Structure 1
């Protein structure tokens, strides 16, 4: 499958639809108090860059975001691919775009929080395959059985 990955505003109907699908997937997997979702309005903030994956006919099929935590740390947020494209490396392409943007901004440490349980095994595989390793809680996330935390040290961009 051919997809294009681009930085876009989350304030579009089709991107809102992706976020709604992501939320619907997450809601049954853990108690609401252990779900740390950003709204599309929060995703549109100056500290967050949203990537959208689109198929050959322009349909939004995935999304992910980079939220700046500090000058050297960023958090991967709102990763989602439609079930119809899973297994086609769309998530990997989104994560690579997020990582490259982070690197270009001088961010050297990526963090992420995600859920646990059988509904999240594909996400965990995506992150570990991309070089993320398990770690403990960060920021104000509580330590709970409902969250898994990952991190990845990334290098600086190559000098041409």
Structure 2
């Protein structure tokens, strides 16, 4: 598996992001879906990566810079049919390392509260993320889970 910086141009990436959006809308009310489409991912403050096994797309993830010391994880997704290969773990490790290299003090994320998000919650907790309150422009809501990882010391 290799992780690469991605320009969001490939059809396989478009399909994975559409799967992500469709799934988020199936699990949460429309006003509580904060997943980003292609246009909203193509902004300077977001860095987007993909994980590959040869020509097979195993997953994607993004890091949004909220401030010079605070990042937000966005668009973490592994195709449903390819889960269990370690892509989510590898992408999350890559984001955490990048955040440390950027000297961020913390990483935050918003994810859903539906039971189908349980595996994602467990992955984040294995990396040391703890439950937290809303950040940036988010509001407290029963459909959202907010988590945070404090990054003590830079790379």
Report if aligned partners of 2:77, 2:88 keep a CA contact under 8 Å in 1.
Answer: yes
| In 1: Cα distance, 2:153 partner to 2:97 partner | 9
The answer to whether the 8 A contact 1:62-1:80 is kept is yes
- Once residues 145 and 38 of structure 2 are traced to their aligned partners in structure 1, the CA distance between those partners, rounded to angstroms, is 23
**Aligned-pair CA distance for 1:88:** 2.2
CA contact (8 A) 1:11 1:40 kept: no
The match for 2:60 is: 63
RMSD of aligned C-alpha atoms? 1.2
- Partner residue of 2:144? 147
Matches of 2:67 and 2:34, distance apart in 1: 19
Matched with 1:38 is 36
What is the CA-CA distance between 1:82 and the residue it aligns to? 1.1
Structure 1 counterpart of 2:117: 120
Q: List runs of 5+ in structure 2 lacking aligned partners.
A: none
Distance in 2, matches of 1:12 and 1:45, equals 17
Judge conservation of contact 2:66–2:136 (CA < 8 Å) in 1. Answer: no
The 8 Å contact of residues 11 and 41 in structure 1, kept in 2 or not, is answered as: no
Query: Can you give the 5+ residue segments of structure 1 that lack an aligned partner in the other structure?
Result: none
Poorly superposed stretches of 4+, deviation over 4 Å: none
